[in-house]
Amino acid sequence: MVKKEAEKVAGRARASAPVDSGDYRKSIRVQMKYQKRAVALVVSDDPKTMIIESKTGNLARSLKGK
């Protein structure tokens, strides 16, 4: 259930991601961690992620569903 909801967030993030080369959009994915409970993270592996996020807030906005 946690991964399913995270995939929805990742899908919204990909849909609203700014596209220059497309690398940022392609690198958005769900990463699962299991500690005391299941945790899903929506992450991007593109080197420009921090710059893009500081200017657009794409991942944070996707989490809110907007």
What is residue 16's predicted lDDT score, i.e. its pLDDT? 86
Write out pLDDT tens, residues 14-38. Answer: 998 888 778 889 999 999 999 899 9
Q: pLDDT, tens digit, for every residue of 36-66?
A: 999 999 999 999 889 888 998 888 888 886 5
Three-state DSSP state, 7: helix
Contact 24, 17 (CB under 8 A): yes
The model's pTM: 0.81
How far apart are alpha carbons 28 and 43 in whole angstroms?
A: 6
pLDDT at 57: 86
pLDDT of 66:
55
